[in-house]
Structure 1
Amino acid sequence: MGSNNSRPFSALAQTLSSTTLEQRVEHLDQEDQIELDPDQLLRECEEVLQSRPARPHRNLICPKDAGSYCHQLGPSVRIMQWNILAQALGEGKDGFIRCPLEALNWKERKYLILEEILTYRPDIVCLQEVDHYYDTFQPIMASLGYHGSFLAKPWSPCLDVEKNNGPDGCALFYRHSRFSLQTSICLRLSAMMIPTNQVAIVQILNCRLTGQQLCVAVTHLKARSGWEKLRSAQGADLLQRLRSITSRRGEGSHEQSARTNPLVVCGDFNADPSEDVYRRFRSSPLGLDSAYKLLSTDGQTEPPYTTWKIRPTGESCSTLDYIWYTRDALRVDCLLDIPTEEQIGPDRLPSFHYPSDHLSLLCDVSFRAEP
């Protein structure tokens, strides 16, 4: 590293390697003017991870009809959805029997997570199972030009793990140079009017390039089989609240119809496409569609998996993660493909070469021009 840049990156290394939250916060207070070069930080990640196998190579794929729309506003917006695996759960509760504990060491695993984000440079990042928000992701993402929000689960299972780093929850980051924040809403999802342990963050963002508004939501629904009805009720609650949040009354004083802001909903739904909550989103009056169906030959089929893990109860290969978008207001320009079984490896996820049991999803969307 050149002498002009060495101080910020040595400060980052100290921030990441500090042993207590108090030390990290104190250090960041002293270095609150640090701005990180993403290219330099990516190289630093690669240096730290040089003893590990490389992450699976993934290509950006353009859907078949991506070039058929001629009317759009501004360049694409890149959106990442990812359940990054809470550190406390990975080490203490999830039981990945084919993943060595050494592969889950936070001192290196955090660099794998950052490397994934830095490789694709998303404008919006939606994360679940974040239990190192304040000491790692918030300061680093802020130094990279992102504004972040975090909402913890009311009763996080991370708190049951000895030496945990606090509760896990959802986080939403947006690039400040691209968007300004109009509205931010934190939701605790309900089922039949009873509050549950699952949450969502909803933000209305103003695009600085187009003047368009974009509503983005991130959530993480109830896990495990046997909870399908609860997930369906949580999804219904979220959809109802999104309809209220995104509605915009018409300009005319006598106009009674309502329009809605373009909407993107990212999440680990813990539900495969056969579940009722998936059908709720697909048939919602909000006009949502699942972006990753566009990778399929017919444009109607979800990927075969977004998570693949081996636990004491057996092997689990499922599609649980989604990026939903308003199909009439947004178009999907490209998507990050899904690694093959060979790329994932026989021990599945997580592993030395991938930090989570869930794959990151990423797509570029653009605003369709309004009629």
Structure 2
Amino acid sequence: MALSIVSCRLPSGDTPVCGVTLEPYVVVRRGETNTTATADEVPEEGSGDSRYCLRFRVDSRKSFHCSTDCLKQHWSLHRDLHSQRRLAGQPDNGYLSESSFKVSNTYSNGGETWIEVGKTRLLTPTAEDVGSVLKCEVVAIDSASPYTEIGKSFSVPTARVRPAPSPPKRNLVAITPPKHIVAAGKFTALTYNLLADLYATAEQFSYCQPWVLAWGYRKQNLLKELLGYRADILCLQEVQSNHFHDFLAPELQKHGYTAIYKKKTTEIYTGNSYAIDGCATFFRRDRFALVKKYEVEFNKAALSLSDNIQPDQKKAALNRLLKDNVALIAVLEALDPPHPEATAAGRRQLICIANTHIHANPELNDVKLWQVHTLLKGLEKIAASADIPMLVAGDFNSVPGSAAHSLLVKRSVEPNHPELHNDPLGILRPASKLQHQLPLASAYAAMAETRDPDPIVQKQRRRMDLKHHEPKFTNVSKDFKGTLDYILYTTDSLVPTATLELPEDSEVKPRPNSGLPNEHWSSDHIALLAEFHYRAPN
């Protein structure tokens, strides 16, 4: 039965970017029937549907047409195609016509000169391609005679190749502490929610062009940004498991980092496969060595807590408390200890790094507070076993002034805090139990509290929420702008001496009804980074 090419598209849209690999996605028709798969239903085996999806994985002369299994395998791309057409107000007929890919100029065989740049299944545009138009040509091949072309080739011209992604330029802004409290040793720590690819959908970020959301683009930009900060410790959230193993870990290892990873406890179906994200902590192996790792699964704590709940409420309690959030705790040893006298006495300089991603649902503030409290009680046990500086960093999905934020920075929650009224399971009562003994403070609060008259410092203070001593925002979307991410430290052992500068509103939301990510900022969060000195011994 004859094959014909119906359409060809690039998962990142028609805008190629230098350094971002292109892999065309092709739809073919078998026979003359007009039966098509819909956006809402993937055809089952033997259903009689005759349009199939194909990844162009090999040289065009060795390419092949596939079955309904292939459509199932690559359904997420096909589904996104429908979503993009609906969002653009275009007819949603299950595939794109060739004219959908045309750029402003008209190309003809007779009047244009094309230079072949590759005949492999993938193409990565180089700096030489910037400013040029690319054209992808696909042709169907008879599987019984693999060197016989069937029908006409299908050509997809692109827009002009864009330069390589350029992450935002942000500098450290110094905070001058009293000299007598600071020891010689210092290090930098960063927290950053990367926006896992499984959440970067056209529906969620309708204001983004497809190429801005494509992981092939974002991963290169995020890597450049991370390497540009040169942080000694990286606490990353929403790190998709396959992207950690296939890209982030090997790439950062090349630049001197060691990695540990804790994935969440529930996989998410993305349309063609299951995916899962988690927390990843990286540290420079010339600065630190891993002593011990702890993994926190809040689900396990929820199961333990449910044993104390009335049997008739247990099902509802588990339904509310069982979330897939995790925390990753690392105890590191500093390889360049700040106190020579302690080293001479045989004492090691340890530091504890807690990296977490707290539950996001704004209707479940009781669950967020319970998760934060559970994490802090675990850290208290570590602190009781050793005199050790601590950093607690991550995406807490809690705004400044919330109960969870108050617990972190004030060590307790006021009994009349409005969020305590939403406690259907009674897990927050009495309010007096919501406390801890860790002397935590926000690193960015030091910037808000400084009286340094330096104009650069004062410029940063204007970008702070001076009521709560936090940045005005760390997360920006079309419908939300606020702070959800924090770096906290123990005040009896560490002193913040610099923080990464905060962006202006116009940098992250240049137009109404827009937000992050965009072509420069490749996550819906911004990175926070602080420099710390060890506090001098008394």
The aligned counterpart of 1:23 is none
Specify the SS of the correspondent of 1:224: coil
In structure 2, C-alpha distance between the alignment counterparts of 1:293 and 1:73, rounded to whole Å:
21
Contact 2:167 2:224 in 1 (8 A): no
Alpha-carbon deviation of 1:272? Answer: 0.3
User: Higher relative CO (CA 8 A, sep ≥ 6), structure 1 or 2?
Assistant: 1
Deviates more, 1:228-237 or 1:339-348: 339-348
Alpha-carbon deviation of 1:52? Answer: 6.0
The match for 1:147 among 258, 283, 303 is 258
Q: How does 1:201-240 map to 2 (within 5 A)?
A: 201-210=328-337, 211-240=348-377
The match for 1:136 among 247, 254, 272 is 247
Q: How does 1:21-36 map to 2 (within 5 A)?
A: none
Structure 2 residue identity aligned to 1:198 = N
The match for 1:291 among 432, 436, 443 is 443
The aligned counterpart of 1:340 is 504
In structure 2, C-alpha distance between the alignment counterparts of 1:276 and 1:324, rounded to whole Å:
16
The match for 1:305 among 458, 464, 473 is 473
Task: Kindly indicate whether residue 411 of structure 2 is the aligned counterpart of residue 273 of structure 1.
Answer: no
Task: Kindly indicate whether residue 200 of structure 2 is the aligned counterpart of residue 90 of structure 1.
Answer: yes
Q: How does 1:131-210 map to 2 (within 5 A)?
A: 131=240, 132-156=243-267, 159-163=268-272, 166-189=275-298, 190-191=301-302, 193=305, 196-210=323-337
* Structure 2: tracts of 5 or more residues without a match: 1-19, 24-54, 56-125, 131-160, 307-321, 338-347, 412-435, 451-465
Alpha-carbon deviation of 1:307? Answer: 0.7
Specify the SS of the correspondent of 2:370: helix
The aligned counterpart of 2:178 is 68
In structure 1, C-alpha distance between the alignment counterparts of 2:230 and 2:367, rounded to whole Å:
35
Contact 1:52 1:353 in 2 (8 A): no
Structure whose alpha-carbon radius of gyration is higher = 2
Change in CA separation of 1:149 and 1:165 when aligned onto 2, cut-off 3 Å: farther
In structure 1, C-alpha distance between the alignment counterparts of 2:353 and 2:179, rounded to whole Å:
23
Specify the SS of the correspondent of 1:193: helix
Change in CA separation of 1:53 and 1:206 when aligned onto 2, cut-off 3 Å: closer
Count of residues in correspondence between the two structures: 314
Alpha-carbon deviation of 1:353? Answer: 1.2
Structure 2 residue identity aligned to 1:351 = N
Contact 1:88 1:165 in 2 (8 A): no
Q: Using the aligned pairs only, state the percent identity.
A: 30
The aligned counterpart of 2:61 is none
Task: Kindly indicate whether residue 525 of structure 2 is the aligned counterpart of residue 358 of structure 1.
Answer: yes
The match for 1:320 among 484, 504, 514 is 484
Contact 2:187 2:533 in 1 (8 A): yes
1:301-324 deviation per Cα after TM superposition (whole angstroms, max 9, x unaligned): 1111111111xxxx2001000001
1:118-148 deviation per Cα after TM superposition (whole angstroms, max 9, x unaligned): 1111110000000111111111112222111
In structure 2, C-alpha distance between the alignment counterparts of 1:205 and 1:105, rounded to whole Å:
35
Specify the SS of the correspondent of 1:91: coil
Contact 2:265 2:324 in 1 (8 A): yes
Structure 2 residue identity aligned to 1:239 = L
Structure 2 residue identity aligned to 1:276 = A
In structure 2, C-alpha distance between the alignment counterparts of 1:143 and 1:96, rounded to whole Å:
32
Structure 2 residue identity aligned to 1:145 = G
Contact 2:211 2:217 in 1 (8 A): no
Alpha-carbon deviation of 1:237? Answer: 0.4
In structure 2, C-alpha distance between the alignment counterparts of 1:18 and 1:353, rounded to whole Å:
20
Alpha-carbon deviation of 1:106? Answer: 1.5
1:67-100 deviation per Cα after TM superposition (whole angstroms, max 9, x unaligned): 31334333321111000000111136x6112111
Structure 2 residue identity aligned to 1:214 = I
Structure 1 residue identity aligned to 2:379 = L
Aligned-CA RMSD value: 2.6
Task: Kindly indicate whether residue 388 of structure 2 is the aligned counterpart of residue 261 of structure 1.
Answer: yes
Alpha-carbon deviation of 1:327? Answer: 1.0
Contact 1:216 1:264 in 2 (8 A): yes
Specify the SS of the correspondent of 1:260: coil
1:152-178 deviation per Cα after TM superposition (whole angstroms, max 9, x unaligned): 11114xx22124573100101111110
In structure 2, C-alpha distance between the alignment counterparts of 1:18 and 1:168, rounded to whole Å:
24
Specify the SS of the correspondent of 1:243: helix
Alpha-carbon deviation of 1:18? Answer: 10
* Structure 1: tracts of 5 or more residues without a match: 1-15, 21-43, 249-258
The aligned counterpart of 2:224 is 115
Structure 2 residue identity aligned to 1:97 = S
In structure 1, C-alpha distance between the alignment counterparts of 2:164 and 2:250, rounded to whole Å:
25
In structure 2, C-alpha distance between the alignment counterparts of 1:52 and 1:163, rounded to whole Å:
29
Contact 2:166 2:221 in 1 (8 A): no
Specify the SS of the correspondent of 1:236: helix
Specify the SS of the correspondent of 1:197: coil
The aligned counterpart of 1:255 is none
Alpha-carbon deviation of 1:58? Answer: 2.0
In structure 1, C-alpha distance between the alignment counterparts of 2:327 and 2:397, rounded to whole Å:
14
Structure 1 length normalisation: TM-score? 0.78
Task: Kindly indicate whether residue 168 of structure 2 is the aligned counterpart of residue 56 of structure 1.
Answer: yes
Contact 1:303 1:338 in 2 (8 A): yes
In structure 2, C-alpha distance between the alignment counterparts of 1:163 and 1:292, rounded to whole Å:
41
Alpha-carbon deviation of 1:59? Answer: 2.6
Alpha-carbon deviation of 1:337? Answer: 1.5
The aligned counterpart of 1:329 is 493
In structure 1, C-alpha distance between the alignment counterparts of 2:162 and 2:257, rounded to whole Å:
27
Structure 2 residue identity aligned to 1:112 = N
